[in-house]
Amino acid sequence: MASLGISIDMYVRGSGRTLDVDADKLIPEFIDRFKGQVFRPHQWLALDYHGQLLKFTIMQATAMRLSPDQEVSDKLGFVAKETEIEFHNGESGTVRVSSSKPIQRQIFAPDFNFEDLG
């Protein structure tokens, strides 16, 4: 994978407390733990993070282009040490993700087709 966008939420909701997660520390741990693992959008997994069970949902996945004429799939791919990972707060708001990296905003959706413009 070239990049993964992942939302983080508490696996068990209703505890009423919030958890601060440092993405800069979690990214290398995530890559080390899941290197070689195949992921696809909308897939989720549970992970114990410092005694808290968290739910990670793959929101966006972009495959790495290995050659100029290769088709790139956004359907699935595997995590490599070069994979860029961006963690986001989950829907419940019980997990707050902080990072020293600036947030990258996508201008176009991954499935946007420029040929449709004409």
In this prediction the pTM is: 0.75
The stretch 108-114 carries a mean pLDDT of: 63
Per-residue pLDDT tens digits for 15-59 = 678 899 999 999 999 999 999 999 989 999 999 988 889 999 999
**Quick one: which of 85, 99, 101, 71 has its CA closest to 37?**
85
Strand-pairing partners, residue 19, are: 95
Residue partners of 26: CB distance under 8 A and separation at least 6: 49, 87
Confidence of residue 102 (pLDDT cuts 50, 70, 90): low
Q: Which fold has domain 3-65+76-101?
A: Vcp-like ATPase; Chain A, domain 2 (3.10.330)
Rounded-to-integer distance, Cα 18 and Cα 16, Å: 7
